[in-house]
Structure 1
């Protein structure tokens, strides 16, 4: 399989939160890079196309995300840079 990412992802397996429109859902951040991440959720159908990813260990770390792919309970996101 060809690697398409510019930056390698670091395995982290840390707790986090998917936040959108006032609702919050627990997730596990499986891996992360400067440009994106892969997360695990209980039900990917409830994750919106765009959301904020909040790191549980440091709530000041928030990434604006856009879903790139989804397979069962794992979701790949890219970080959206502010305009």
Structure 2
């Protein structure tokens, strides 16, 4: 059994989201979430940058993220700060 190292329990969710930074954006899906981090599914984990921003489509909240792990089509991130709200016109959707 894998040892749980997270400081906060994560809630299972199914939230469409957008990862963005460096002038690009990637559609993804958040599969679990806590105040400290998340697991995210995307086409290919190798597409994730070491640092990026994540916007949940539901409420347009934006979190600064740091990549912690990557495996196949899933990544784990930790959040650097409390969420803010995006200026939707400045997000380049792909």
TM over 0.5: yes
Query: 2:42 maps to which residue?
Result: 41
Within 2, Cα distance between the matches of 1:72 and 1:10? 22
Query: 1:10 maps to which residue?
Result: 11
Rg (Cα) greater in structure? 2
Following TM superposition, the consecutive aligned residue runs of length 4 or more in structure 1 with deviations greater than 4 angstroms are none
When normalised by structure 1's length, the TM-score is: 0.92
Asked if the contact 2:46–2:70 (Cα under 8 Å) also holds between the matched residues in 1, the reply is no
Gaps of 5+ in 2: 83-94
Gaps of 5+ in 1: none
Query: 2:22 maps to which residue?
Result: 21
TM-superposed CA distance for 1:79, in Å, is 0.4
Q: Cα RMSD (Å) of the superposition?
A: 1.2
Aligned length: 81
When normalised by structure 2's length, the TM-score is: 0.81
